Amino acid sequence: MFALRDKRIWVAGHRGMVGSALVRRLEREACTVLTASHAELDLRDQAATRAFVLANRPDAVILAAATVGGILANDSFPAHFLYNNMMIAANVVHAAYEAGVSKLLYLGSSCIYPKFAPQPIPEAALLTGELEPTNQWYAIAKIAGLKLTEAYRRQYGCDFIAAMPTNLYGRGDNFDLAAGHVLPALLRKAHEAKLAGAAEIVIWGTGTPRREFLHVDDCAEACIHLMQHYSDFGHVNVGSGEDVTILELTERVCAVVGFKGRIVNDLSKPDGTPRKLMAADKIRALGWGPRIGLDDGIRDAYHWFQHDLSQAARGAA
Ligand code: GFB
């Protein structure tokens, strides 16, 4: 058991969707949350990262900082996804070791697994087959990051652990249509189509790939649970345990938004991995389970999308 009480906890990447959910969750603990904005600290800069950690002396680190994006962004900017994420992982993990940080949680992604992994995907499927080409760059960086936590645990005895969340969504998501993931993109498309009185929305690919979705607040809860209760080699899957096709997801998003038009496929866009459902046995055995169902989660994400839109409109006025 790693107690959070009175600890100084650095959430690296606190402005992102996952990092901000972690900060909200940690507000319920009697701990001090340390943060640094991108303007204050570029995590790709080794000397600056080292200086920040040595000056601020966190007891624990949650590494939620990453260059992330949906299938098209991953496919379009391979150097960006590979370089940024490798540098961030190496600099933060090494600085945490140098500063004697007591506990570090590294966050990866379900795309670390082979494209045709057995479903649901057990943690042991790592490095057993070819990666999905569209996001292999991001996946390689995330695999390197999780292996770093194991290497520092083995060579130096550091209590560093790694969690691999599934496709996340929720408050603070990226609603940019080109760069973002499917769920926020569908919310935006359905919302704009409803307002415009459009007859259809266009989804990428065939709509047949299956994906597992987890609300970011459930992910934050899982991260805190692992910080407190997990200390071992081997990464841990963090998922909801259920998946849907992209077409089913679209229908559920449209029902929440109230868009009643047609759903049309753009077959020039990639499908990516056919199915990505992670086995959840390990984290369930550790005592964590999701609380937010997909429809409630979509309603919550839609609320925050509209909230952000009205904030932006007020800012522009
Ligand atoms: O969420 P997404 O971009 O990422 O796409 P991945 C999931 C599926 O939704 C793909 C389809 O089959 C897309 O073709 N899709 C349908 C759409 N319409 C849209 C749309 O309007 N926008 C988007 N973005 N997709 C990502 C990886 O893979 O998963 C990352 O690229 C990361 O590295 C993340 O691991 C969790 O699930 O395919």
pLDDT of residue 28: 96
Joined tokens for residue 251: 């229908």
Averaged pLDDT score across all residues of the chain: 97
Amino acid 317: pLDDT: 74
Among protein residues, the one whose CA lies closest to atom 17 of ligand 1: 182
pLDDT tens column, 281-317: 999 999 999 999 999 999 999 999 999 998 888 887 7
Q: Which residues line ligand 1 (CB under 6 A)?
A: 70-71, 74, 109, 111, 134-135, 138, 167, 180-182, 185, 203-205, 209, 211, 246, 269-273
Look at residues 269, 316, 228 and name the one whose alpha carbon lies nearest to residue 75: 269
pLDDT of residue 315: 85
What three-state secondary structure class fits 235? Answer: coil
Q: Distance between terminal CA atoms of the chain?
A: 50
Length of the chain: 317
C-alpha 308 to ligand 1 mean position (Å):
22
Q: What percent of the chain has pLDDT over 70?
A: 100
Q: How many angstroms does the Cα of residue 30 sit away from the middle of ligand 1?
A: 37
Q: How confident is the model at residue 114 (pLDDT cuts 50, 70, 90)?
A: very high
Is the pTM of the predicted complex or chain greater than 0.85? Answer: yes
- Say what percent of the chain tops pLDDT 90: 97
pLDDT of residue 312: 84
Interval 155-201: pLDDT, tens: 999 999 999 999 999 999 999 999 999 999 999 999 999 999 999 99
Helix or strand (DSSP H, E) at 22: helix 17-26
Distance from C-alpha of 135 to C-alpha of 109, rounded to nearest angstrom: 11
Distance (Å, whole) CA 44 – CA 12 = 12
**Residues paired with 265 in a beta bridge:** 203
Confidence of residue 121 (pLDDT cuts 50, 70, 90): very high
Phi and psi at 34, nearest 5°, equal -100, 140
Q: How do residues 71-107 score in pLDDT, each as one tens digit?
A: 999 999 999 999 999 999 999 999 999 999 999 999 9
Query: How many angstroms is it from 114 CA to the middle of ligand 1?
Result: 16
The answer to whether 232 and 158 have CB atoms below 8 angstroms apart is no
Rounded CA gap, 267 and 312, in Å?
33
In whole angstroms, what is the distance from residue 120 CA to residue 115 CA?
13
Across residues 151-158, what is the average pLDDT? 98
Spatial separation of the C-alpha atoms in residues 158 and 115, rounded to whole Å = 31
Reference 17, options 310, 317, 308; nearest CA is 308
| pLDDT, position 293 | 98
Which residues lie below 8 Å from residue 119, measured CB to CB, with a gap of 6+? 275, 277
Q: How far is Cα of residue 105 from the mean position of the Cα atoms in its chain? A: 13
- Residue 147 pLDDT level (bands cut at 50, 70, 90): very high
Residue pLDDT, tens place only, 195-234: 999 999 999 999 999 999 999 999 999 999 999 999 999 9
**Whose C-alpha lies nearest to ligand 1, atom 14?**
271
The sign of the CA dihedral 242, 246, 252, 253 is: positive
> CA angle 260-265-271, nearest 5°?
125
Q: Which atom of ligand 1 is nearest to the CA of 109?
A: 35
Residues 6+ apart with CB under 8 A from 173: 17, 180, 181, 183, 184, 216, 301, 304, 305
What is the reported pLDDT for 285? 98
152 included as an active-site residue: no
- How far lies 81's CA from each of 69, 75, 183, in Å? 9, 9, 20
- Cα 116 to middle of ligand 1, angstroms: 16
- Catalytic pick among 113, 138, 230, 302: 138
